[in-house]
Structure 1
Amino acid sequence: MFTGIIQAVGEIKQIQPVQGHSDNGLSLGISAGKMDLSDVMAGDSIAVNGVCLTVTTLTGGLFTVDVSQETLSCIQGLDQVGMRVNLEKAMRLSDRLGGHLVSGHVDATGTVVKFEPIGESFVLIIQAPESISRYLTHKGSITVNGVSLTVNQIVGNEFSVNLIPHTLAVTTLQELAPGMRVNLETDMLARYVARLLNI
């Protein structure tokens, strides 16, 4: 479980096929950037651009994770060396919940429609697939590439969020541009309520 509060920006340093598997999965070597790995062990979970992945090895400031072909087919942005990624270690029960409850299971990918400054902040408009648009609500939570954000407006399948300078400074969202694809995870409470109401 995660909160959507990014702890560091890392970088994919190595990509190679997963050894001993035939599903065309990838093993990623990721530089942790400023994230402290001293309390991380093999088997722990780290969200990488919003995707919950299991650490397989640790060497200094580099950790490796395996990504199955099934996961790769559902997400965006984990298949290029040099790609900068948002990182968050799994939360502990004693941690503050600064964002919202995030599972690290990407619901879908969306497309950036607009990313432009408004005063000191930026407005980000994303087109979401119809399959998840019913889970979006005004002032509700959404995770974009692992970052917990608040939905400000919804028009059809498009939603907008405001990004303050701090968020841009400590995440990779500053690198977004129209046409880019992003990983989206809707609020899990909205999904459960919809399931219970059978809508």
Structure 2
Amino acid sequence: MFTGLVQGLGTIAPMGTEKLQISCVSGAEIILPSLAIGDSVAVDGACLTATEILPNGLVAIASPETLRRTTLAHQTDAYVNLETSLRVGSKLGGHFVTGHVDGIGAVQATVQTASSWEMSFSAPPALLSLWQHQIAPYLVPKGSIAVNGISLTVAECDPAGAWFTAAVIPHTYHQTNLRFLQVGDWVNLEADILGKYVAKFVRSGLPSPSSSEFPDESAPSIDSLDRITPAFLADNGYL
């Protein structure tokens, strides 16, 4: 589990078919002192396991599934965002990021404003069906999304899930690889895990009051998504 708050930048060098050598460019003093073999590290948002600790980096193994679903196989000589896993008692300043990338998107535009950068992201045409199936249902204004492992807030989004925008503050822009991205560059996308679970529960519906999970006859039941209305929520204590 990660927070989406990047701790440093690194570069990737392939070592055979599945091994990757990640060298720290910045943030080594934060990432490496407590890193041990077997620990998880988010590399551009993809959760990898450290198999070897180097003086200025680490070696990790990326499975064929990880390489297929992420940009890691195409990141040679490019900067990647690095974050070690969340520890008990640590501050959660971003949102819950699992490191399980849902799909690949692309930079559509970057516009500098007086106080931030407004970035737009879209899905490449070849991956549009994957995007719509796994990202679109969880894109909501003011919701969270991880882009290259960075916790961002969705400002606007297309109802069909074809694109979304996010405002990036100067600190995030300068401390991550967002500042190096050009229009058309690929990015790893992970939807908010809490949104995924809520969507699943809503689609599945809650058990009926007669089931053993609801011994209390007054417990609510939801037979379909159509029954979740403002009136239903108000009647059951959600104001």
Cα distance between partner residues in 2 of 1:80 and 1:91: 24
Candidates 168, 173, 193, aligned match of 1:168: 173
- Equivalent residue, structure 1, for 2:3: 3
State the Cα distance separating 1:184 from its structure 2 match. Answer: 0.4
SS in 1 for 2:69: coil
State the Cα distance separating 1:76 from its structure 2 match. Answer: 1.1
Candidates 170, 173, 193, aligned match of 2:198: 193
- Greater RCO (CA < 8 Å, at least 6 residues apart): 1
Cα distance between partner residues in 1 of 2:37 and 2:55: 13
State the Cα distance separating 1:78 from its structure 2 match. Answer: 4.2
How many pairs align? 191
State the one-letter code of the partner of 1:34.
G
Q: Deviations over 1:40-87 (max 9, x none)?
A: 111000000000000000121120001111111101144343221100
Structure 1: state its 5+ residue gaps: 18-24
Superposition misfits of 4+ residues, deviation over 3 angstroms: 77-80
Q: Deviations over 1:94-138 (max 9, x none)?
A: 100000001000011112111121223111111142121110111
Give the structure with the higher percent helix. 2
Candidates 145, 150, 174, aligned match of 1:147: 150
Candidates 80, 100, 103, aligned match of 1:105: 100
Q: Highest Rg: 1 or 2?
A: 2
Cα distance between partner residues in 1 of 2:15 and 2:56: 19
TM-score by length of 1: 0.91
User: Residues 175-186 of structure 1: matches in 2 within 5 Å?
Assistant: 175-186=180-191
Structure 2: state its 5+ residue gaps: 124-130, 205-239
Give the structure with the higher percent strand. 1
TM-score by length of 2: 0.76
Identity %: 40
- Equivalent residue, structure 2, for 1:125: 120
Instruction: Note if contact 1:15-1:80 (Cα within 8 Å) is conserved in structure 2.
Output: no
Question: How large is the RMSD of aligned CA atoms in angstroms?
Answer: 1.4
State the Cα distance separating 1:173 from its structure 2 match. Answer: 0.5
